[in-house]
Every structure is written in structure tokens, then in C-alpha cells.
Amino acid sequence: MGVYTFGDYYCWWINWAKKAQMIYRAITAPHFAQFCRLRKGTDHMFIFIFLLGSAVIALGIFAIRHPDSWWFKRIGDDREPSEGWMGYIKFAGKITIGLGVMIIIFGTQYLTG
């Protein structure tokens, strides 16, 4: 039970790929585009831009809540961050949230139909 062979991993990968393909086909089906009132071919772009904007907003929120995280430190720098540096990271997080909102707003051009 504890030993996995290449065949086990290969079968897992094939099953995952088939599920992902089924989800992709369900999302990109013509009836889904009509349901969302999207032009043909633009639903992919809006979904991608919306997810990208959401990820940027999440990064900004994370920067505001955890400015002392290792994500915002230099490689090899083990010092404690100063108050000025943490204030700068929080400010950059606010700017990042604004950028994510702008990305989503600019992505709404694909919703016109």
C-alpha cells in the first residue's frame, strides 16, 4: 500500500487530466456562454482576467495583514523588519489592491455583448 509505482502516478495524472478537461468543456460550452450573455470566445478571457485580478487583490490583502511575512523579505536577510519597512509593505498592499480592482474593471470589456 505504501509503495507507489509509475503506473499509479500515471493513472492519477490521467484521471486528473480527464476531470480538468470535463470542467473546461462544461465552462466553454456554447450554452454556458449564452447563459452568461458573453460573446463567443470572450468568456475565457474574462474568466482569466477575473482570476488574475482576484489573485492580485489577495496578495494585497495578505501584504496588509502580514507585512512581516517571509514573502516580503530579501533572500538571506534574517533581521527583523523595521516599522518603516512594514508601513511601506502595508502601503504597497493598498496600491496592489487598487491594481487588482483596475485589472478586473478593465477585464469587463469582454462582458459587452
| Digit-coded pLDDT (tens) for 48-93 | 889 999 999 999 999 999 998 888 887 777 788 888 989 999 999 9
Other C-beta atoms lying within 10 Å of the C-beta of residue 92 = 16
Mean pLDDT lowest for which of 10-14, 44-48, 89-93? Answer: 10-14
Q: Which residues contact 45 (CB under 8 A, 6 or more apart)?
A: 107, 110
Residue 5 CA from chain centroid, whole number: 32
Q: How confident is the model at residue 32 (pLDDT cuts 50, 70, 90)?
A: low
Q: Which residues contact 90 (CB under 8 A, 6 or more apart)?
A: 63, 64, 67
Domain ranges within the chain, ordered by starting residue: 1-35, 37-111
Burial of 74 (0-12, 13-18, 19+ CB in 10 A): exposed
pTM: 0.60
